[in-house]
Structure 1
């Protein structure tokens, strides 16, 4: 904002368009993930993201920044983010799928704990441009080699079955692979499913608010509460820490409890967090709000993946997951909406109230629709 002399709304627009661009291409990426080796996709996406970071370190204007950020970060994230992580987990796990998804995606929250404070330090020492060069080096020198060394598409590639069972397990009954429909018929099946649209509506209402919180919370505490940048970074670190716990706890709940109960617990965590942001300005209250926000956000990631794997099965998982990401793409504009509300009203209070209403509606939808439990899962 300082270097390019832009407002919150303009900065939020860059973030929202980046997330939106990725969501629009998610159906295509989902199709590719179901058809091609995941590690090849991760490596190509990491290289694309690294090129983008190198270019971002050279841009000299806000519009050039957007022109690089949107195609590189927006598209590369599809190939290194949850779409590929979740595909691997549904391939490798069946009875422990919820817990596996929670642990696997936990890496995002580990980064959420570590990087806000690290980013604040780097920004104030070598600048944001230099930070992007470091990120590019990490992708090329660490992420790509580790991916080639470790990642395998499915357990059968190393002589195992899902959940770590050996091929020789006597009580294993081979399951015939599902009949594969044509491309049009497959997507028609998704779009004609009431359960699919209920998941779209529920998670569309919740999905983008965490990005808005991560983008705006440091600005809120430094502009309205007269706190320091590191105070805002610490709040994001706390949110990331609780998101780690949320992934594991909610993943465990999905393996053992009713799906509706699990989803409602996440909604309650979101509502409690937003109420604290509306009514509390003391820093301890903000820490509690960040913790509840992180818990709900972290928990809903494995929950969503388990739900759609139960609805449509493993073979179609990435395609329906990509299509779901496309339909909840409008939620990415929560970042922009929040910035616009604050610029118009001069306060974050109104934006927090809008967040609360969104979570409340998500809770109502979750209560009204049927969510698939473990016994309802499609093979």
Structure 2
């Protein structure tokens, strides 16, 4: 087997646990956490704020290290940080240690376990099938989101939410960390193999970009035309997913129904990742990005009209397909705009823009819900943000930065 596929497998497993728990499963525990600490949604949403604030600092620092030091070393640090952060959530004696301590460690993990490290290395091993490889690797988020929510929900009902998160922390140490240490390499040369070559007659991704300075990246028009819409989109879909557990609880749905809907969104993300991953090798990527934004807007409209349970399942499927398509498109577009030599640096500086955007969104979402008793006004604001994202991304020109 080509060793590049071990990179894909490792990236898959890291995302399975990191995103499958933090994004899809942890929100299902929030009603129990609110009751345990006698707190509110606005306070718990500060966990997200701390998380992205840390990313604001870590991304620009770690980005050049991905290009010049060791993506493997950074990924190992990220996995360890995730295990520590999840353990803190279960050990915290009060809500502020839960929010601040957990947010700090998980913020480091969120940056180092994400596409800045894993997708950078996948892109180094693959050329003609880069989009496909990135799509398969990113399925880890959907697989984790499908498998973990019902397991976490059942475990919390059986042994409590705190022992449940300790089990997740243990799995990161026992399963994920060894895979990173022994089946993940920085380059094809480190793995004793060569970069995937395009078959005769098949055009691969030509990378003729020279190394760019931070100034050159930040002053390039393409950086802002892509990063600002990306930040708006990520703010909308992450805040939506993070609060759907409370939204559906407010609507009177049972825990089992909510877990099933979250799992459906994750499973539908598999179709989005595979589909958009194949598209990433064939069509202008900004069109795929706009399609994902439009599908997310459609899901928000359905959430606004508060349909019956049956339609909600369809809404979650649509949301899963649209958000699932983001990762392969994002990860394929960065090297197309800036080149493999600048992947980590460009991704690292996208982080602060995304962080500054999301930091203002997450607390506001909780405050609006607590003040109005619903998320209707939040969904309306999300639609405006997505319309702005489309308007900004339309002028983006793909190709050499």
Using structure 1 for the length normalisation, give the TM-score. 0.90
Matching residue of 2:335: 309
Q: Please, what is the CA RMSD of the aligned residues? A: 2.3
2:388 equivalent in structure 1? 361
> How far apart, CA to CA, are the structure 2 residues paired with 1:54 and 1:7?
22
3-state SS, counterpart of residue 316 of structure 1? helix
User: Are 2:316 and 1:290 equivalent residues in the alignment?
Assistant: yes
**Structure 1 partner of 2:18:** none
Q: Is 1:82 paired with 2:111?
A: no
Change (3 A) 1:52 1:218: closer
Structure 1 position 240, deviation (Å)? 0.8
Alpha-carbon contact 1:305-1:321 (below 8 Å) kept: no
Where do residues 224-303 of structure 1 align in structure 2 (5 Å cutoff)? 225-303=251-329
Query: 2:246 aligns to what SS in structure 1?
Result: helix
Alignment of 1:325-340 (within 5 A): 325-333=351-359, 334-340=361-367
Note the C-alpha offset of 1:180: 4.0
Question: Which residue of structure 1 aligns with residue 41 of structure 2?
Answer: 8
Query: Could you tell which deviates more after superposition, 15-24 or 351-360?
Result: 15-24
Tell me by how many angstroms 1:264 deviates. 1.9
Task: Give me the whole-angstrom Cα distance separating, in 1, the residues matched to 2:65 and 2:287.
Answer: 33
Alignment partner, residue 67 of structure 2: 34
Q: 1:96 aligns with which of 122, 129, 136?
A: 129
CA deviation vs aligned residue, 1:141-178 (integer Å, no higher than 9, x gap): 11111112211122233454333569xx9x99xx9986
Q: Is residue 2:355 matched to residue 1:322? A: no
Q: Does 1:140 align with 2:154?
A: no
Distance 2:151 2:178 in 1: 24
Matches within 5 A, 1:50-69: 50-69=83-102
CA distance in 1, matches of 2:36, 2:207: 59
Partner-residue secondary structure (3-state), 1:284: helix
CA contact (8 A) 2:48 2:362 kept: yes
* Structure 1 position 47 matched with structure 2 position 73: no
Shift in alpha-carbon separation, 1:178–1:346, aligned structure 2, 3 A: closer
| Residue in 1 that maps onto 2:368 | 341
Contact 1:20 1:332 in 2 (8 A): no
Rounded Cα–Cα distance in structure 2 between residues aligned with 1:138 and 1:117:
17
Distance, in Å, in 2 between the alignment partners of 1:260 and 1:71 is 33
Contact residue 209 and residue 338 of structure 2 kept, 8 A: no
Give the Cα–Cα distance (whole angstroms) in 2 for the partners of residues 178 and 279 of structure 1.
47
Partner of residue 221 from structure 2, selected from 194, 197, 215: 194
Residue 209 (structure 1) aligns with: 236
Distance 1:277 1:44, change over 3 A: same
> Contact 1:218–1:231 at 8 Å: present in 2 too?
no
In structure 1, what is the equivalent of residue 20 of structure 2?
none
Q: For 2:323 and 2:357, locate their aligned partners in 1 and report how far apart those are by CA, in whole Å.
A: 14
- State how 1:218-229 maps to structure 2 within 5 Å: 218-223=245-250, 225-229=251-255
Q: TM-score, normalised by structure 2?
A: 0.85
Provide closer, same or farther for how the CA distance between residues 310 and 162 of structure 1 changes in structure 2, counting only shifts above 3 A. Answer: same
Deviations 1:127-152 (A, max 9, x none): 22112221221111111111122111
Q: Distance between the aligned counterparts of 2:78 and 2:67, measured in 1?
A: 16
Residue aligning to 2:148:
115
Offset, 1:87: 0.8
Name the SS of the counterpart of 2:37 in structure 1.
Answer: coil
CA deviation vs aligned residue, 1:309-331 (integer Å, no higher than 9, x gap): 11110011011001011111133
Contact 1:209 1:331 in 2 (8 A): no
CA distance in 2, matches of 1:319, 1:176: 16
Alpha-carbon deviation of 1:200? 1.4
Q: Which has the larger radius of gyration?
A: 1
Instruction: Give the gaps of 5 or more residues in structure 1.
Output: none
Distance in 2 of aligned mates of 1:317 and 1:289:
34
Aligned to 2:104: 71
Q: Name the CA distance, whole Å, in 2 between partners of 1:126 and 1:136.
A: 15
